[in-house]
Amino acid sequence: MIWLVGCKGLLGREVSDVLERKQLQCIGTDIEVDITDSEVVKKFVARQNSIDWIINCVGYTAVDKAEDEPEAAEKLNVLGPRYLGMAAEEIGARIIHVSTDYVFGSTGDSIDRPLEERDPTAPECVYGRTKLAGEFAIKKATRRAFIIRTAWLYGTWGKNFVFSMLQLFKERSMVKVVRDQIGCPTWSRVMAEFLVEIIERNSDNYGVYHFCGGGQASWYEFSLEIARLAQELGIQKKRVLIEPCTSDEFASRAKRPKWSVLSTVATEAAFGIKTKPWQESLGEFMSMINEQH
């Protein structure tokens, strides 16, 4: 039995769909099971017949808002993972926990290669600090943990960069997009398929891994590809001018890393997979949403 925590979020809904498609037995929960309450977690686990795997897709992901709500971010990003890890250890289950590129902060800005799992972490915003603390909490709670860092997630459900850009393209004739933050756009469906792949392989290669779209892009380059595909597919009728700008031109509460390109070499070796180029995944995603509408 798989316990999918956060089954109604952007990533959780994708994982739920993949599990259903593969006919894997799963129980999904969302806010009705408060993972920040250790007693609630214990009672929930006790009521289940057998949980072999826990997938944690819950997180406080409002990056700027977290600067004003550090306690709320800590509850979801640190306490929740800690209690899930403790539950996994107690019942002998394996746990997959989703983390983020923001754990690196600006330490990666001076590195001219994709960031590896062993590279030093030094997050500079509440979101990044609490996600890193969540990694430590899980590792302390259980030895049977897979911590998967990802980046720049977009998908069918929830607010994300692709939908934001498509909306701006409709509303404006010119859009400014940051060019000095470089990362790895990642389709939530591809991420979900990888998480389930870990379970299907019955893996015990525990540890911290990176998984994201292959290659790299700035937000500006990402937006250009969204615009190109939108025109090609007929999603967007009018042409929009997209101008590059710097992070300094956009005031934000949280400090974001300028270089957070993740290396997936260790992940590919450990699980025998190959990551797709981000452009390929984006093309598939936009073709899909075009067919749906």
**Enzyme catalytic residues:** 127
| Distance (Å, whole) CA 32 – CA 35 | 9
> Which residues on adjacent β-strands are paired with residue 99?
149
Beta strands 217-218 and 182-183, pairing class: antiparallel
| Distance (Å, whole) CA 13 – CA 19 | 10
Q: Six-digit token pair at 17?
A: 């769909």
| Distance (Å, whole) CA 51 – CA 27 | 9
Q: Six-digit token pair at 103?
A: 């754990």
In order of 118, 126, 136, 219, the CA distances from 81 in angstroms are 21, 16, 9, 30
